[in-house]
Amino acid sequence: METAELTQTKPASDEAKDFLPLNGTDYIELYVANALQSAHYFQTAFGFQPLAHAGLETGWRDRESYVVVQGKIRLVLTSPLHGGTDIGQHIDKHGDGVRVVALWVDDATKAYEETTQRGAIPFMAPTREVDADGFVVRSGIHTYGDTVHVFVERSQFGGIFLPGYKTWEPEHHPDDVGLNYVDHMVGNVGWNEMNTWVNFYANVMGFNQLVSFDDKDISTDYTALMSKVMSNGNGRIKFPINEPAEGKKKSQVEEYLDFYGGPGIQHIAVATDDIVKTVTELRNRSVAFLKVPDAYYDDLLDRVGHIDEEINALRSLGILVDRDDEGYLLQIFTKPVGPRPTLFFEIIQRKGAKSFGKGNFKALFEAIEHEQELRGTL
């Protein structure tokens, strides 16, 4: 995956001074074949709560969206209502996947101007959207592949989600599983493209590079990748960027690119305050996770020192632990959440550590290779 060594934070240059202040992740929009059923899945399996809906009943003719929420995490699930749409093309090419990583800003017009002046390709000029609850301004730029960033300015809006949406109140309300916020979102890009996109986040969006990992850090006997972690000024937004590297067998990033049809979001890491409780609940709801060999736990405490959690609970759930200078973290990765081996989720609990689990890479990669082998794509 990706990781960070804490000694490598680069001081912000003048250019990297915060010309693009970001308050956090606003929403993540997935284009999916069946938004209704996807919303049901994210409620039932992942504990998201129904929030808002827009479609034919609210005046849209070409698409329908369901919005679900848990903690600060908002997912928008969007499907086309007829053939020949951009959304349908996106689904045909990529399968269900992330189209929009929306970022919450105070000034969407300025965010658009600052980034397009620095070379961002426009996706959506600043647009004021109004309803009885006020207005939002949204603008957007392209990033890697068919993925876009939308800037959302919502200080003058008091409605449920965005103008045009109505509250969605289905009967079915599974309990949440304790997910709080988006910790980071990882992009997979093509061969030799990592630095292009690192430079994009540095120069166009004013991000800093937290750390870099080469194929010696992130490899097993068989497969490899390279990764750099980009973060915005206040650290609320972290985007690791991966590219494949040469190994004896096919990199998991290359497998992703093959099945996704190009670059895109590989995983969404979501944070919890109690990973044992969260993962127990997710497993009870049939969310499938990667499994590392049992031997991982035999010498775990020698590697990470004292931890608060019961090691047997971690072992039975398959939760991984890593330590850095500031503390430790617990993490686990789901299997892909659709038919293609593309998008998956990471559940993470930070207890001081600000890194990304470097100590777990080898065990994780071997678990992923095992899955690739089963898929016949290694």
Binding residues for Fe cation: 184, 267, 346
Binding residues: 184, 267, 346
Phi, psi of 35, rounded to the nearest 5 degrees: -60, -35
Range in contact with Fe ion (rule: CB under 5 A) among 138-146, 160-168, 213-221, 339-347: 339-347
Range in contact with Fe ion (rule: CB under 5 A) among 49-57, 68-76, 160-168, 344-352: 344-352
88 near 79, Cβ under 8 Å?
no
Give the integer Cα–Cα distance in Å for 197 and 206.
Answer: 12
Nearer to Fe ion, 154 or 350 (CB): 350
Residue 1 near Fe ion by CB under 5 A? yes
Residue with tokens 């190009």: 262
Give the integer Cα–Cα distance in Å for 107 and 125.
Answer: 13
Contact with Fe ion (CB under 5 A) among 346, 347, 361, 368: 346
Q: How far is the CB of 331 from Fe ion (least distance, A)?
A: 7
Range in contact with Fe ion (rule: CB under 5 A) among 5-13, 208-216, 341-349, 367-375: 341-349
Nearer to Fe ion, 63 or 358 (CB): 358
Residue with tokens 């202040």: 21
Query: What secondary structure letter does DSSP report for 109?
Result: H
Contact with Fe ion (CB under 5 A) among 91, 269, 300, 353: 269
Nearer to Fe ion, 255 or 346 (CB): 346
Nearer to Fe ion, 29 or 346 (CB): 346
Classify the C-alpha dihedral 85-73-116-130 as positive or negative: positive
Nearer to Fe ion, 137 or 245 (CB): 245
List of E strands, the chain: 24-31, 49-54, 63-70, 73-80, 97-105, 122-131, 134-142, 148-153, 166-167, 179-188, 208-213, 224-231, 238-245, 264-272, 320-324, 327-333, 344-351
Contact residues: Fe ion, CB under 5 A? 1, 269, 346
